[in-house]
Every structure is written in structure tokens, then in C-alpha cells.
Chain A
């Protein structure tokens, strides 16, 4: 059998995994791989301008497409620059395989040039990681890395590749299957538990489903919608769950938690049966944990056993894949039509009550003489095609998007939920655009966040990725300013961004198109023009500087304790 180099094994393994796109940045330790990748015309390599951008791009690619995102960087600083991106993906359970170069094995531990113990550094923020010291392990490790990344509760896996291993020669054979006796995720929920869950819901009078990112990851949206509609159970979603249930549906309560809707937070506080699906009772969702869903029996469906009873004591847990468990629940209710009818009758007054909350306290803002950021988002929603993919940065821009953009389907909303990484949205949009070149991809940004990975303007221009960046420019690090206004007596310590670049000129300097909007009357037309522009666009919306995100639950307060204005 013909022998090939480690670098070639790497390429062949990616082919076996069906990888079409790799995001990354070259360097000394990965020269052999980059040499090999140049010959692999079936794999599109996208050169970002910073390794953090590469990981976020791979992450955006994964979230939008459901496929594993792949990233390739060099050793030392190249590797350490990926850490924020890896931690971002880890918190949100995004399947990534990050390949890092490493110094030759005989130099490991010698403080060699561009050496970093990236396996040690990323141990707490990867699902698993590997250092490949021997070429005979290489194909197996790559196979396992992809398998671990996409199965169970998905997550990032890092593979560290010493330079000499990439030069070594071996006869290539990709393993047909993964053999690991220590890793075996549970997909199928326990049937007895599923029956008990359905019984509990059928007996409830005020049920609420609380759906999280797990529903999106498991592609269980269809089953969720079917279950909620058949049972007449209202649905609230976490930030990561948005799109899992169509916004605007009569049963949708929108997002819950710190910036959740009044109806969602009241419903969760009043429910007698909370059905958590693929969600993890994050502190931004629960507020004061002792007063979260105080009257409810709590059902928790999750693929990760560690999520169950971690923050909140669960009455009825089931470990399994959201899709498979929901399918099981659907077939259960099929067999119990009489009880379903009784449930419909029992929940009637609850649904009325929920509707009343929705009508009493809808999400709202008033558009005056300056542009309101919420208005920009509503107009983007109105004007962009239905299958538009929206990414956000982190902060007010993110919360307003979550509140005011009507996500009708899953995988259209890419945002850093758990880690809250500023600078995520722009590179994530690059990844999504690479996955779907013909769809509209928009990054809704703030003037603070966009500067954290603004160098990726060069990437979108180079690869003609027509990403539209809508900057809600309020001249502040707005969310922090909001907290300072509410809880620190308006002492705006270092949150003013008085000096900012001219985003129009900046976009033009990189070869992209730039627009600026100051007049609310022009918002619609400029969005239309931006969307019609063939190529990347920056739009600088000069918005009301001190607009706040409401409702807001103060940190540590129960979630029915909302500031509403």
C-alpha cells in the first residue's frame, strides 16, 4: 500500500468526513498541512484575519448548517487565539473540530518557539481533546474527534498536530467505525419515563413548555410544534431555542428570562407543569432560582445527564435526544385521545390568561425623532427574505434581536448565548454565508462588538461573501451602560465609545460598501438598498444613544419581578 504523509492523511480524513469548508490561518507548525490543502481543490479554505474569527466562522457554519464546523490554525498564538471561540462553542454545545499545529514531538515541553500546551489550556472548554504523537493514531483520532463533536450533547473537540507527525509517512486507512468503550451517549428516552411525562402533562391545568438549544441541535422543531399544537401547550424559548417554535404562533410566548417577555415570565412563574426540553436552567433564564416555577412539577428532557437536577431539582427527568423523546411523547398521546380532549378543556382558562398577559404587556418601544434600534430590527425582519440567517453580537443588539425579530424556523439565529462573546456575530455570519452562499446573511451588531473582529472585513471582501452588517450605533457599550444607569447611579465608567471609526469609510477602505442612516424615515430604504447590494455591506445606523432593553429582571431577582418600561 502506498504511503502518504501525515498532512495527506489529514486531508484524506477530512474527505472521509465529508468536510467541504475549513476556516483558518496558517503558520510555521502547519506548513505541511497548508501545502497539502492547496492541492485539495474539493475543500474550500477560507482565510480569516484572526484565529478567533476562524473558530467563530466554523461555529456559525455549524449552527446554520447542522454540520460539524472545521478550523485549522498554527501552534502557540494561533492555538491560544482559538480559545475564546472554542469556549463559545462549548457553552452553546456547537459541534466543531479545531485542528491546531504543534511543535515537533521532540521539542514539546522545551518552551520551543510558538509552543503552547493547547491541550492543557483547552481541557476545560472542549468536549474532548487530543495530542497526536504518533502517525499511526492520526486517522483514528480524527474519526473519533468528528464522532465526539457531533454525537450526544455536541461540542467542540480539539486535535493538536505536531509538525513531525505531519511529515511522517503511513499507509492510509480510515477506520470504518469508532470503537470507544467509554463513550456511549443515550439517545432513546426511557419509555416508562416518557409515559409518566405524558401523564403528568395530561393531568396539568397550566402547562408550559420551556424549549432550549437542544431542540435546535436535535432538529426536533417539527416534533415540538406538533406536540404543543396537539396538546394546546404554550411554548417559551431560551435565547438558544429561538426559532424552535415559530414566533408569532398563538402558542408562542417568546423568550423567557432576564429580557424575556412579560407573558413568558408570568407563565413560567404560574405554571403547574414545566416541560423543559433541551434547556439547562441557566441563571439568565431562572433569575432567583428558589422562586423559579415555584408551583410547578418540573419535567426535564435532556441528552446530557449532568444538566438534569444541576440547578433546579427535577421531578421527572428523562435522558435522551429531544427528537426521539418528543416522538415517543407524540405516539403516547396518539393512544390517549380522550385524555387529550380533557386536557384541551382544562387548559382553556390558562391559555386565556396567557393571552391576557401577552396583550397587557407586549414588547414595545416608541419610534420618535431619532432611530430606535428596535425599529431597525423590525424593518430588517420585514424586508429580508424568510430564510435569512441572522447573527448577532452580544449585548443590547442581541437582546433586541431576540425580542423583535420574528424567528419562524430553527437555525436562522446565530448568537453566543452561554459565553456571551462580543465579536462573535460577524465571523459567524461569514461561516453561515459560506454554508449558504445564496441566502441572505445579516449580522446585527453594536458599535462596541463589531470592533472586536472587524478585521474580518478583509475576509468577506476577499471571498465575496455578501454578509450585511447592520450596526446599531449608539456610541456606548450599551448593555453595560444600561446596568450602570439602573444599578450604579448613571456612573458611566468607561462605557462611552466617543472615538469610533467612520464605518462607511472603513468598509470602503476594505473594498466593501458602506451606508450611514441618521433619519428614521430613511431606515427602510437603506435596508432595501443594502439587501439588494451584491457583496458585503456595512450599514451604520445612528440610533438613540440611551435606549434600554426592557423588560428586564434585575440580576438575582425572581423572573416575575420585571422592570417593564
Chain B
């Protein structure tokens, strides 16, 4: 099962290495990772998406908590949360496909962030499913370059209510 775990850590040199080393050393999997300082510059927040059975996830959380620089670990499984990642994708855009690319971008609400005679660069945010759908549709047209951030998540304030997005 896929889990998104947020890890609040001391914003110090080497902390990322401790976290990542823990995953590789113990044979846990990291699917995606994002990390940046919080509003308090002394702390950073990581979001790690990983997978494994219940016992593995339990160990991951305990092992993370055991690291001295880890302040708080939250697993979002069973909670309602907003999930976003972003991609930048440079798509081939020749005469015959230029309009098609823009149409697809419009359908997915992607933005054009760079343009050239032969390409469009599109930026899109969303959850994993939406981004993967977008890529699937664009692939036949020709993807020239592609980059994707890790997932970021935030718990919904009103649990149990209708989702807004």
C-alpha cells in the first residue's frame, strides 16, 4: 500500500542523508521525496511516499522517530489530505500538433511556461493520478524533456467532509 509520510526534522547538514540512509540501509523503498524548510527556518519538512505492508510501515515510522534529528512523523494513511506534485514537461509542437498540445493543456489546466517554434513547456500540478494521465496523453505527441517533483501533502482541516478538489 502506498503511504505518504511527513517528517519534521532539524534543518541541519546531514539530516537528509540520515533519513535516506535509513531507508537504503534497512531495505525500505522511497517512491518520492520532497524536502524544504518550514516557516521556522530551523526546521525542515520532508514528505516521503513509500510502500510496504503494515509491519514494514510500522518499522519505517519507528525507525524515523528513532533518528535524533527527527521531531515528528505523520502517516497520512486513513486521513483525508490534499496531495500535490508538479511536473514540467517539454512537448514537441510542430505545425500539425501545436493546437492539440494546447487543447490537452487546457483540459488538464496546465500552464504554458515556455514556448519555442518547435516546443511548448507545460507546468501542471495535481495528484499522482492526474499527472500520470496527462503524461499518458502527451506521450504520443513526443515528450522532449520531463521533470517531476516529489509529492507534498497537507491534512484537510475538516476531516470527513466533501473533498473540494
Which residues of A does B touch, CB under 8 Å? 119-120, 123-124, 127-128, 131, 148, 180-183, 304-306, 308-310, 313
B68 proximity list for chain A (CB < 8 A): 127-128, 148, 180, 182-183
In the assembled complex, B10 has its CB within 8 A of some CB on chain A: yes
In the assembled complex, B162 has its CB within 8 A of some CB on chain A: no
Partner of B66, one of A120, A181, A306, A313: A306
CA distance A308 to B62 in the complex (A): 10
Supplied contacts A180-B68, A181-B71, 13 more A-B pairs, CB within 8 Å: A120-B14, A123-B18, A124-B22, A124-B25, A131-B14, A148-B68, A182-B71, A305-B62, A305-B65, A306-B59, A306-B63, A306-B66, A309-B55
CA distance A302 to B22 in the complex (A): 21
Nearest first, the 7 closest Cβ-Cβ pairs linking A and B are A128-B68, A306-B62, A182-B71, A305-B62, A124-B25, A183-B68, A306-B63
Query: In the complex the two chains form, is B66's CB within 8 Å of A119's CB?
Result: no
Which residues of chain B from 28 to 72 have any CB-CB distance to chain A below 8 Å in the complex?
A: 55, 58-59, 62-63, 65-66, 68-71
- Total number of B residues with any Cβ neighbor in A under 8 Å: 20
A310 proximity list for chain B (CB < 8 A): 59
In the complex, residue of chain B having the shortest beta-carbon distance to the beta carbon of A313: B55
A304 proximity list for chain B (CB < 8 A): 66
Query: Taking the nearest CB of chain B, how far is it from the CB of A324, in angstroms?
Result: 20
Partner of B21, one of A124, A180, A183: A124
In the assembled complex, B165 has its CB within 8 A of some CB on chain A: no
B159 proximity list for chain A (CB < 8 A): none
Query: Taking the nearest CB of chain B, how far is it from the CB of A132, in angstroms?
Result: 12
B17 proximity list for chain A (CB < 8 A): 120, 123
A124-B25, A306-B59, A306-B63 known; A119-B14 Cβ under 8 A: yes
B13 proximity list for chain A (CB < 8 A): 131
In the complex, residue of chain B having the shortest beta-carbon distance to the beta carbon of A183: B68
Query: In the complex the two chains form, is B58's CB within 8 Å of A309's CB?
Result: yes
A306 proximity list for chain B (CB < 8 A): 59, 62-63, 66
In the complex, residue of chain B having the shortest beta-carbon distance to the beta carbon of A152: B66
CA distance A124 to B17 in the complex (A): 10
Query: In the complex the two chains form, is B14's CB within 8 Å of A123's CB?
Result: yes
**How many residue pairs, one in A and one in B, have C-beta atoms under 8 Å apart?**
37
Query: In the complex the two chains form, is A182's CB within 8 Å of B70's CB?
Result: yes
A120 proximity list for chain B (CB < 8 A): 14, 17
A180 proximity list for chain B (CB < 8 A): 68
In the complex, residue of chain B having the shortest beta-carbon distance to the beta carbon of A128: B68
B59 proximity list for chain A (CB < 8 A): 306, 310
A120-B17, A124-B25 known; A305-B66 Cβ under 8 A: yes
Query: Taking the nearest CB of chain A, how far is it from the CB of B45, in angstroms?
Result: 13
Query: Taking the nearest CB of chain B, how far is it from the CB of A452, in angstroms?
Result: 26
Query: Taking the nearest CB of chain A, how far is it from the CB of B165, in angstroms?
Result: 33
A123-B17, A306-B63 known; A182-B25 Cβ under 8 A: no
B10 proximity list for chain A (CB < 8 A): 182
B62 proximity list for chain A (CB < 8 A): 305-306, 308
Query: Taking the nearest CB of chain A, how far is it from the CB of B75, in angstroms?
Result: 15
Contacts A/B (CB < 8 Å), 26 sampled: A119-B14, A120-B14, A123-B14, A123-B17, A124-B22, A124-B25, A127-B68, A131-B13, A131-B14, A181-B71, A182-B9, A182-B10, A182-B69, A182-B71, A183-B68, A305-B62, A305-B65, A306-B59, A306-B62, A306-B63, A306-B66, A308-B62, A309-B55, A309-B58, A310-B59, A313-B55
CA distance A224 to B55 in the complex (A): 30
In the complex, residue of chain A having the shortest beta-carbon distance to the beta carbon of B64: A306
In the complex, residue of chain A having the shortest beta-carbon distance to the beta carbon of B72: A182
Query: Taking the nearest CB of chain B, how far is it from the CB of A303, in angstroms?
Result: 11
Query: Taking the nearest CB of chain A, how far is it from the CB of B53, in angstroms?
Result: 12
CA distance A148 to B66 in the complex (A): 12
Query: Taking the nearest CB of chain A, how far is it from the CB of B10, in angstroms?
Result: 6
A181 proximity list for chain B (CB < 8 A): 71
In the complex, residue of chain B having the shortest beta-carbon distance to the beta carbon of A124: B25
CA distance A180 to B58 in the complex (A): 24
- A123, A131, A182: most-surrounded residue (chain B CB, <10 A): A182
B65 proximity list for chain A (CB < 8 A): 305
In the complex, residue of chain B having the shortest beta-carbon distance to the beta carbon of A127: B68
A313 proximity list for chain B (CB < 8 A): 55
CA distance A128 to B14 in the complex (A): 11
Query: In the complex the two chains form, is A123's CB within 8 Å of B69's CB?
Result: no
Query: Taking the nearest CB of chain B, how far is it from the CB of A283, in angstroms?
Result: 15
In the complex, residue of chain B having the shortest beta-carbon distance to the beta carbon of A153: B66
Which residues of chain B from 1 to 21 have any CB-CB distance to chain A below 8 Å in the complex?
A: 9-10, 13-14, 17-18, 21
Mark interface residues in B91-111 (1 if CB within 8 Å of A CB, else 0): 000000000000000000000
